[in-house]
Amino acid sequence: GTVSRSEATKSSVSAQVLERAKKSLAGGDSSTMRVLPYHIPLVADRAEGCRLWDVDGNEYIDLNMSYGPLLLGHRPKAVIEAVTRQISEQGSQLGFPTEVTMRVAEKIKKLFPSIELLRFANSGTEACASAVRLAKTYTGRNKLIMFEGHYHGWSEAVFTKYHAPLEELPECGYGQAIPGTSGMGDSIKDVITVQWNDLDALERALAEHGPDVCAVMMEPISGNAGLLMPRDGYLATVREMAHDAGALLIFDEVITGMRVSAGGAQEHYLVSPDITVMSKAMGGGYPVSAFGASAEMMQCIVKGPLFHGGVFSGNAIVMSAAEAVLDTVLADREGIYGHLHSVADQLANGIKDIYSRLNIPAQVNHLGPLLAAMITKEEVDGLYNYRDVRRHADFERYIQFQHWMQQHGVYFHPNEFEPMFLSTAHSSQDIDEVLERWEEGARQCLV
C-alpha cells in the first residue's frame, strides 16, 4: 500500500551503531528486552516530554516511556532541577544516611498507608528478591506462590518462565514453576505458579502446599501479560485465602505503583498487601525501588536476621529525583492523575473505535495511564489470564503493525504482552496525532 503521511523512517545509523555495539556489549545492549530479534533497530539519541529522537534523526511519539518510569515525561523540569541541585551542592553519592532519603520514605508512607517501614534498592528485581526473603524470614516457610504471566524480575527467588508456551503449563491450573533462565540452581523448585484470576486453582495449590507457603506474590494487575485486571473481588479473596493459610500477600507494584493511582493498585482496589514492592514511576527515570511492610515485619531487617544492603541503595541523586516526583504528585494528585486518565481514555477509546470501524478483532485493556491494545486472531469475549492471551493474541500481526507504526513516528514495544505507558507530558493533541497514524497503520497492516 501507499504511505500517505510521510515516508517510512530510515534506521541505517541505528543499525550500524548496534552492529558495532555487538562487538563490546553482549547482544548490543544491557537488557535483552531492548534488542529482541524482531526489533527494528532504534538507537535513542535524546528525548523530551513525550517525544524521542533516534540517531538517524527520526522523531517518535513515545508510548513506551522506558517501560514505565517516566510518569512526568522525559526530562521533567522538577526532576532536572532537584538532581542538578543535589549533584552540584551536596553530592551524588555520600555513603552516609541523608535527610533526602528520610524525606522520600516519609512521602511514600503518605501515599501507601500499608507501609510502616521501608527500604530502598536499585531495581525492581532487587526489591522483589528482598520482599520474598522477608516473607520467608517472617513466616519461617520456604515455598512461594506466584502467577502465570507475572514477572517479578530475574533473581533466583522468582524468575519463572513467565511467557512459557501453553503446552508447558500444567492442565490443572497450577504447578511447579519452570525456571526462567539457565543457571538458577534449585531455588525455583520452591515456587508454584497458579493461573491468574482462577480462585479454584489457587485453592487447590494452597490445599496441597499451604503450610509451607510463605507468601502469595502477584502483580495486582497482570502488567507483563497484556494488562489483565483482577476480576471483581479477586484480590480481596486471594488475600483472605493467603491469610487463612498463614501466608503473606505480596503486591509487586513495580508497574502499578504511583501509576494507576498515586497510592497504586492497593489504593485503586482497596486491598492492602502485607508487603509492597514499588519502583519505576516513583523514580521519574532514575534507578530506584523500594519494599516495605508493617513495622513488626520489618523488624526482621532492623533487628535481624534478614540482611539488606547496597552501596547505591538510597543513592542521593536517585533520592532527589524521587523526591521531586513525589512532591509533584503530592502537590496536585487530582490534576496529575486526572490528566493521565483522560489522555489514556482518549487513546483507548480512539483505538477501540478504529478497530471496531475496521472490523479488526482486538482486546483493548486499560486502567489509568496503562494500556494494552492487543490484536487477536479472532473475536474474543475477554482475556482473563496469561493462557487466554497466549492462545488468542496475534503476536505476528502485532509485530508487523508495530513496525509500521515505528516507521511512521509512534513507538511502543513490539511484544504484544508489554503495556503502553502514558505520562503527564502526553497532551490530547499528541494522542490525536497517534490516533491519526494508528488508523492509517491499521488500514495498511490489519485490514
| Active site residues per annotation | 151, 252, 280
Residue type, 31: S
* Minimum distance of ligand PLP from residue 32's CB (angstroms): 11
How far, in Å, CA of 378 to CA of 358, rounded? Answer: 14
Look-up of cell digits 486472531 = 377
The verdict on whether omega for the bond into residue 305 sits within 30 degrees of 0, i.e. cis, is yes
Grid coordinates standing for 113?
498507608
Q: What is the 3-state secondary structure (H, E, C) of 303-314?
A: CCCCCCCCCCCC
Among 76, 153, 210, 263, binds ligand PLP (CB under 6 A): 153
Bridge partners (DSSP) listed for residue 117: 293
Q: Taking contact as CB under 6 A, which single stretch among the options 131-139, 208-216, 247-255, 370-378 is the one that binds ligand PLP?
A: 247-255
Note whether 276 binds ligand PLP by CB under 6 A: no
* Minimum distance of ligand PLP from residue 158's CB (angstroms): 8
Nearer to ligand PLP, 164 or 227 (CB): 227
Among 54, 252, 388, 440, binds ligand PLP (CB under 6 A): 252
Look-up of cell digits 509487586 = 252
* Minimum distance of ligand PLP from residue 128's CB (angstroms): 5
Among 56, 62, 198, 219, binds ligand PLP (CB under 6 A): 219
Nearest residue to the partner ligand PLP, using Cβ: 124
Helix/strand/coil for 88: helix
Among 223, 273, 283, 368, binds ligand PLP (CB under 6 A): 223
Q: Taking contact as CB under 6 A, which single stretch among the options 171-179, 196-204, 226-234, 250-258 is the one that binds ligand PLP?
A: 250-258
Bridge partners (DSSP) listed for residue 52: 47, 60
Q: Taking contact as CB under 6 A, which single stretch among the options 6-14, 84-92, 218-226, 294-302 is the one that binds ligand PLP?
A: 218-226
Nearer to ligand PLP, 218 or 442 (CB): 218
Q: Tell me the site size for ligand PLP, rule CB under 6 A.
A: 15
10 Å CB burial of residue 53 (0-12, 13-18, 19+) is middle
Q: What is the DSSP string of 200-259?
A: HHHHHHHHHHGGGEEEEEE-SSBTTTT-BPPPTTHHHHHHHHHHHTT-EEEEEETTTTTT
Q: Which of 275, 279, 289 is nearest to 138 (CA)?
A: 275
For residues 35 and 41, is the Cβ–Cβ distance under 8 A? Answer: no
Nearer to ligand PLP, 74 or 152 (CB): 152
* Minimum distance of ligand PLP from residue 255's CB (angstroms): 5
Nearer to ligand PLP, 124 or 175 (CB): 124
What residue ranges in 123-271 does DSSP mark as E strands?
143-147, 174-176, 191-194, 213-218, 248-253
Pairing type for strands 191-194 and 174-176 reads: antiparallel
Binding residues for ligand PLP restricted to 93-152, rule: CB under 6 A: 123-125, 128, 151-152
Binding residues for ligand PLP restricted to 59-88, rule: CB under 6 A: 67
Query: Could you say which DSSP state residue 86 is in?
Result: I
Helix/strand/coil for 70: coil
* Minimum distance of ligand PLP from residue 111's CB (angstroms): 18
Residues in contact with ligand PLP by CB under 6 A are 67, 123-125, 128, 151-153, 219, 223-224, 252, 254-255, 279
